[in-house]
């Protein structure tokens, strides 16, 4: 094709350029999703050995029947009896009102059992994980530590109020740590606070 042909058919040339741009953009988007969900290794120790356990109840229909949260009594029994697993830990998601300081805000939180981070082969960036006998403890996400505490290295031992309860900060999570997605293909779950469950 010559320049004269291009000048005579500008709509055709424009449509060809647009189709090419859309194709490249769509392929880039699809590859980004595949790379993030399938190809990139999870930031945990032995990610191929991690499984998520659910309860099943055929009384409910569809996906809900297959993916019910585990009842506390069943979790405790599985933790005690399960010889096939090196560890069984629990997580429950919630939103907490964070008050005190200069601005209240609602933040995503995760209630986790004390061995939760160990199961993933991770430890706090600063401080430590709470123990089973610390019901009023909390770990901060890196983002919340940066946003609300200006990355203060002396934040461990300070108090904050979440869901109307005074909590003592025991540590800060690494910047790259996130909770696993609860369903395939979903983004990893975000939690600004980790508090004791059970």
| pLDDT tens for each residue of 75-117 | 888 888 877 787 888 888 899 999 876 788 899 999 999 888 8
126: tokens are 């600063």
Whether residue 100 sits in one domain with residue 177: yes
Confidence check: pLDDT of 43 > 60: no
102: tokens are 């200069």
Confidence check: pLDDT of 8 > 80: no
Contacts of 140 (CB under 8 A, 6+ apart): 148, 149, 155, 169, 171, 172, 173, 192, 193
Give dist(CA 138, CA 149) in Å, integer.
14
More confident position, 52 or 170: 170
- Please check whether residue 183 lies inside any domain of the structure: yes
Q: Which of 137, 130, 133 is nearest to 116 (CA)?
A: 130
- Please check whether residue 76 lies inside any domain of the structure: no
- In this prediction, residue 6 has a pLDDT band, given cuts at 50, 70 and 90, of low
- Please check whether residue 50 lies inside any domain of the structure: no
Whether residue 174 sits in one domain with residue 104: yes
What's the total number of domains in the chain? 2
Whether the model pTM is above 0.85: no
Q: Which of 174, 173, 172, 176 is nearest to 156 (CA)?
A: 172
- Please check whether residue 58 lies inside any domain of the structure: no
Whether residue 125 sits in one domain with residue 29: no
Q: Which domain holds residue 32?
A: 10-39
């Amino acid at each position: 094709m010559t320049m004269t042909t291009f000048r005579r058919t500008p709509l055709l040339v424009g449509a060809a350029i647009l189709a090419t741009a859309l194709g490249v953009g769509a392929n880039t988007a699809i590859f980004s999703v595949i790379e993030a969900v399938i190809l990139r290794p999870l930031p945990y120790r032995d990610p191929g050995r991690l499984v998520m356990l659910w309860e099943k109840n055929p009384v409910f229909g569809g996906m809900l029947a297959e993916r019910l949260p585990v009842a506390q009594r069943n979790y405790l029994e599985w933790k005690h009896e399960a010889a096939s697993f090196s560890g069984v830990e629990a997580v429950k998601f919630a939103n907490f009102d964070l008050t005190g300081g200069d601005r209240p805000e609602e933040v995503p939180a995760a209630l986790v059992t004390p061995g939760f981070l160990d199961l993933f082969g991770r430890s706090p960036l600063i401080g430590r994980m709470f123990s089973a006998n610390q019901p009023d403890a909390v770990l901060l996400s890196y983002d919340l530590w940066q946003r609300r505490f200006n990355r203060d290295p002396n934040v461990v031992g300070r108090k904050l109020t979440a869901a109307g309860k005074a909590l003592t900060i025991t540590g800060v999570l690494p910047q790259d740590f996130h909770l696993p997605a609860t369903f395939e293909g979903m983004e990893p779950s975000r939690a600004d606070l980790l508090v004791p469950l059970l």
